[in-house]
Structure 1
């Protein structure tokens, strides 16, 4: 009688413990698409004033750097 109860109890415990397990694992893969903005796209978005201002700014910076080189380091 004791061994029968033990076997029934062990079988019941085994069923309860194994029936709730999630045996399948779900894998989720997300794809991310990144579009790189090319230089021509940014130039097309800018107006003529912005493009010409950049060119003038580059020329002014070049001249300022030349004058700084002429003066030299005072330290």
Structure 2
């Protein structure tokens, strides 16, 4: 009978241990599940933040590129205007110089004609 009693007590102790082990395993599994959920939530949050930062950086780069392009276009327009003005000024100066040269050539021609006429008169005189 002692043997039977010992065997029964051992079976009860084993059953109690088994129930406690099951509870601890369940709690450990719940803890792991909670940690996995928290890690997933943190990872999702980090991905969201990184995505937002990348979007903001891209928007800033696009804005900076647009500003640089606008500045380049403005400078090109300004340079074009300056070239146009300089070309007009050069054309005006060339026109003025040509007019002066024509006037001087006419004056020189008139002077040469007078000198020739005087020389002819001087040759005709006895």
TM-score class normalised by the smaller sequence: 0.3 to 0.5
Higher relative contact order (CA 8 A, sep 6+): 1
Identify the structure with the greater helix proportion: 2
Rg larger in structure:
2
TM-score of the aligned structures, taking structure 1 as reference length: 0.38
TM-score of the aligned structures, taking structure 2 as reference length: 0.25
